[in-house]
Amino acid sequence: MSHYSTDGPVNAVFAALQTSRPEIQIERLTVTHPADSDDLWFISVPDRPEDVQLECYPHGQPPFLVEGDGTHQVLTTSDANEAAETVLAWLASGT
């Protein structure tokens, strides 16, 4: 697993994901310019080719924007549990 910890409520999302699926991979976007936002993570599991993306405000603050890679599904929520449940469901369904 990649280092993903940040300050703020987004850590609750990551903890729920890691508890439910220990094999989950969470990788933070690496930006090239200091002014660019790095509050975007790519979440994947070994048996699924597409990622689910999670974005939030600086310092891990909600709302959380969850997007299925390659789909038009999007969820915006301020609830960490809802964000984690959506990521897990989309990873399980292949969405």
pLDDT at 4: 60
Q: Is the pLDDT of residue 33 over 70?
A: no
Q: Which residues contact 19 (CB under 8 A, 6 or more apart)?
A: none
Digit-coded pLDDT (tens) for 49-76:
788 999 999 889 999 999 987 667 899 9
State the pTM of this model. 0.84
Q: Is the pLDDT of residue 12 over 60?
A: yes
Distance separating alpha carbons of residues 48 and 80, to the nearest angstrom: 23
Distance separating alpha carbons of residues 6 and 37, to the nearest angstrom: 13
φ, ψ dihedrals at 74, nearest 5°: -140, 140
The count of structural domains within the chain is: 1
pLDDT at 20: 95
Range of the domain at 60: 10-30+40-93
Is 35 a member of any domain? Answer: no
pLDDT at 2: 47
- Residues 37-59 have a mean pLDDT of 87
Is 25 a member of any domain? Answer: yes
